[in-house]
Amino acid sequence: MTVVVFAEKNKAAAKLATILSGGNSTREHMADLPVYSFVAKGEEYKIIGLAGHITSYDFDPAYRDWKAIDPAVLLTTNPIKNITKKNYERAVRQLAKQADSIVLACDYDREGENIGFEARDIALQVRKVPVKRARFSSLSANEVQKAFDNLVEPDANLALSADTRQILDLRMGAAFTRFMTLAVREKAYTKNILSIGPCQTPTCGFVYEREKAIRDFKPEDFWKIEAVFQAGSSEFEGVHRKGNIRDVELAKQIYEKLEGIKEATVFRLNIKEKQINPPYPLNTNEFLKRASKFLDISPEKALELAEQLYLAGFISYPRTETNRYPEDHDFKSMLKNLLRIGEYASFAENLLKTTVSPRNGKKDGHDHPPIHPIKAVSEKQIKNAVKLDNSWKVYDLIVRHFLANLMDPALFEKTHMEVHVKDEPFDCKGSVMKSEGWKQVYPFEISKENLLPPAAEGDKVAVNKLTNTKSQTTPPKRLTEAELLTLMDKHGIGTKATAPSHIETNKKRGYFEIKGKTISMLDTGFNLMDALGVSVPILIQPEIRAKIEGLIEDVEEGKKPFAEAISEGTVLIQKMYTRLKSGKGDIVLRIAGSIKDEKLAEDKNNHIGKCDKCGRTLSIIRTDKGRFVGCSGYPECRNTYPLPRKGSLDVMRSRGCKNGGFAVLKVSGGKYYWSVGIGPCFNCEKQKLCFPPTVIGKCPSCGCDMILIETKDSKFLGCARRCGFTCSYPQKGRVTLRDETCEECGWKIVRVKEPKKDARHYCINRKCNKKFKNLL
């Protein structure tokens, strides 16, 4: 009898074979894919690993023409399941021919059940045989063995719940995306796609909400009364108990009451020991957040790096929700191996002297253990094996986190001193690390120390300084990628493996961008979210995912038949679609405008800047009758500025106008300059500020600056005070002034490159004796 087993991926198949065969399996190939065979308990087993999903839904080709098909039709069209990985199909068919029974052994979750059914459906077309399910939440020998000894029925509802998600996501995503893209193209020329989806859009929504809070923020004044005290020879700071005082009169009253007082009393002293526990073990989300926060590596890159480290055998499987180790996890052998690696040896050594126990979290996704190192390797080995930037940094973070998790808490002594100036209370806080604990191995989070001098209740201290400072409340900060991941996780947007891809999608679409660690909204994204917020608010809120999720769960639990969930979900999407359609005019107006503006900004030759009347874009407009600077908001905004009639125009990106002009243009290759909104620069009293002379050294005759003087048709060096001293400027070749100066006379070194000759460097001062020597 032959049992054919389908696992989620090759790695898992290999592991299952090792466990079930007791290490005696053989590897063969089918359709170029590895298959593991062995005999156990009188049965012949053949195990193959799939590659996650091997099928995918898509619409029939007849629905693929964006222009011919009304996007609304997609909402009620049933997509077709296509096989996307043909070689897996071939292998499954070949195996099915030999099968007397089939066991589905993919990950024990919704997608895993669905992946198993994809293979099952193909196999049953070949041969009708009984199909069972092996359920295990980790690839430990114990659990796997138990699962295969107690096979259960496959869960059709669990598998169908994933189909529900796939179909509803596709219907909604395709219909909304086509609708928006085509609508905007009616008003603006763009090849870009404006996509909308049940995960990407609420992800963008988080960024938008923060951006709006920043834009709507109105700063408020507040006052803060602070004191510098002195006990013995050391100074320390205190803040008045009322903190940020909004009421100017109140602050003034307190301050005036205390002004001039030189002595205060320690009224109360409170010393507490505070313990900071080590971090929980790493699940995917926490890993991505920390990689972004500590190492400045984007979630997308971090996941890719972890994947490579996993494939190279250095760390455990990086996609997991679980942040607690199984009871029987073997820490000691890993620690022993880490003794070999210089960076970690001392920590591992100390831990091996103790009974090792992790500080576990509470999340158990029944999938894989937390991310941890499985091989101790040096920086060199990592860099040789994984040739991607930052591979070592990521491995190092994972090892340090692994160690930190096992170490003792860090202990701090927190001192709170309440000092009274007259009867007004000031708070002084101190924090001193007593025992570093896990922080020794974890340099990513640094705790600030702040020492208070020893004092007892009732002691007198000196008041050295008292201030009443006015400040302003500051707007909320832009979201970081780490914070965005937290929000997504909290609202169930995406999964451990897909969250980074939703962030990438928004970047690709030009909705937001990431600079360093912070995310800022781009105009297209802001306008899209702003407009959707008016007509279909639910779309940009995380609840949209929750609604569909609810239906999926009903199918999973058998509370709702598949067809009913699909039709209910469809009604929900249709309602949103209707609202989207009725808001079309407004949405398109705003987005088309911002797309036009972005296109103009990319046109470096003609882009001038932001319109001071309406905020849209100013650019050079050329017509039959002449040229001028005009606004992209025309005809609603008729703001224009004149330009010189003749001559070529070059926008000077690096030169600003000190008189409020929008941009400086070079006319006829440098004949003169023109500031948009002001006129020719030679008429402007601030010309010298915008065009400071290039100083090349000191005038040997009068001692003031020698400058480069440029006229319409010549260049020479002259004294800034016009004492009469002049000097010629190289006439041939490409001339560049360097930062270096001549040791002899202090004038600048110049680089001259004539065609077909080597570049020469020499002192620009012709009277200097170092002339015409190659100086650099």
Partner DNA sequence: GCAAGGTC
Task: For residue 455, state whether it binds DNA (rule: CB under 7 A).
Answer: no
Q: Which is nearer to DNA, 8 or 408 (CB)?
A: 8
Looking at the DSSP bridge assignments, the partners of residue 461 are 264
SS3 of 267-322: the string is: EEEEEEEEEECCCCCECHHHHHHHHHHHHCCCHHHHHHHHHHHHHCCCECCCCCCC
What does DSSP assign to residue 371? B
The least CB distance from residue 531 to DNA, in Å, is 18
- Which one of 322, 495, 527, 594 is in contact with DNA (CB under 7 A)? 495
Binding pattern for the stretch 146-185 against DNA, x by CB under 7 A and - elsewhere: -------------------xx--xx-xxx--xx--x----
Q: Which is nearer to DNA, 52 or 700 (CB)?
A: 52
Q: Which is nearer to DNA, 49 or 593 (CB)?
A: 49
Rounded to an integer, what distance in angstroms lies between the CA atom of residue 346 and that of residue 325?
23
Task: For residue 64, state whether it binds DNA (rule: CB under 7 A).
Answer: yes
- Which one of 18, 34, 58, 450 is in contact with DNA (CB under 7 A)? 58
Rounded to an integer, what distance in angstroms lies between the CA atom of residue 65 and that of residue 427?
69
Subset of residues 90 to 109 that bind DNA, contact rule: CB under 7 A:
107, 109
The least CB distance from residue 583 to DNA, in Å, is 19
Subset of residues 106 to 135 that bind DNA, contact rule: CB under 7 A:
107, 109, 111, 115
Task: For residue 580, state whether it binds DNA (rule: CB under 7 A).
Answer: no
- Which one of 3, 20, 46, 49 is in contact with DNA (CB under 7 A)? 49
The least CB distance from residue 93 to DNA, in Å, is 18
Question: Phi/psi zone of residue 172: left (φ > 0), alpha (ψ -120 to 50 degrees), beta?
Answer: alpha
Subset of residues 2 to 21 that bind DNA, contact rule: CB under 7 A:
8-11
Torsion of CA 456, 459, 464, 465, to 10 degrees: 80
Q: Describe the strand order of the beta sheet including 748-753 as a list of residue ranges.
A: 734-741, 748-753, 760-763
The least CB distance from residue 40 to DNA, in Å, is 24
Contacts of 219 (CB under 8 A, 6+ apart): 472, 473, 474, 475
Rounded to an integer, what distance in angstroms lies between the CA atom of residue 770 and that of residue 761?
11
The least CB distance from residue 493 to DNA, in Å, is 7
Query: Strand, helix or coil at 609?
Result: strand
Please give the size of the binding site for DNA, defined by CB under 7 A: 52
Task: For residue 291, state whether it binds DNA (rule: CB under 7 A).
Answer: no
Q: Which is nearer to DNA, 319 or 372 (CB)?
A: 319
- Which one of 40, 53, 431, 572 is in contact with DNA (CB under 7 A)? 53
Rounded to an integer, what distance in angstroms lies between the CA atom of residue 399 and that of residue 95?
41
Stretch of residues binding DNA (CB under 7 A), selected from 195-203, 327-335, 640-648, 710-718? 195-203
What are the CA-CA distances from residue 206 to residues 133, 200, 441, 507 (Å)?
40, 10, 34, 14
Q: Which helix (H) or strand (E) holds 226?
A: strand 221-231
Long-range CB contacts (within 8 A, 24+) of 580-586? 580/176, 580/179, 580/180, 580/532, 580/535, 580/536, 580/539, 581/72, 581/179, 582/535, 583/531, 583/532, 583/534, 583/535, 583/536, 584/183, 586/531, 586/534, 586/535
Task: For residue 199, state whether it binds DNA (rule: CB under 7 A).
Answer: yes
- Which one of 116, 154, 198, 661 is in contact with DNA (CB under 7 A)? 198
Nearest to 606 by CA among 640, 641, 638, 650: 650
Subset of residues 310 to 329 that bind DNA, contact rule: CB under 7 A:
311, 319
- Which one of 193, 261, 388, 571 is in contact with DNA (CB under 7 A)? 193
Q: Which is nearer to DNA, 55 or 292 (CB)?
A: 55
Rounded to an integer, what distance in angstroms lies between the CA atom of residue 177 and that of residue 196?
5
Given a contact cutoff of 8 angstroms between Cβ atoms, the answer to whether 479 and 518 are in contact is yes
What are the CA-CA distances from residue 314 to residues 303, 544, 597 (Å)?
14, 39, 48
Looking at the DSSP bridge assignments, the partners of residue 737 are 750
- Which one of 94, 164, 200, 391 is in contact with DNA (CB under 7 A)? 200
Task: For residue 137, state whether it binds DNA (rule: CB under 7 A).
Answer: no
Stretch of residues binding DNA (CB under 7 A), selected from 397-405, 493-501, 553-561, 714-722? 493-501
Query: Strand, helix or coil at 762?
Result: strand
Q: Which is nearer to DNA, 163 or 396 (CB)?
A: 163
Residue for token pair 């040739």: 387
Rounded to an integer, what distance in angstroms lies between the CA atom of residue 396 and that of residue 419?
45
Given a contact cutoff of 8 angstroms between Cβ atoms, the answer to whether 264 and 457 are in contact is no
Task: For residue 505, state whether it binds DNA (rule: CB under 7 A).
Answer: yes
Q: Which is nearer to DNA, 236 or 511 (CB)?
A: 511
Stretch of residues binding DNA (CB under 7 A), selected from 49-57, 209-217, 270-278, 633-641? 49-57
Subset of residues 368 to 407 that bind DNA, contact rule: CB under 7 A:
none
Q: Which is nearer to DNA, 46 or 178 (CB)?
A: 178
- Which one of 25, 94, 164, 195 is in contact with DNA (CB under 7 A)? 195
Where does this chain bind DNA (CB under 7 A)? 8-11, 49, 51-54, 56-59, 64-67, 84-85, 107, 109, 111, 115, 165-166, 169-170, 172-174, 177-178, 181, 193, 195-201, 307, 311, 319, 494-498, 501-502, 505
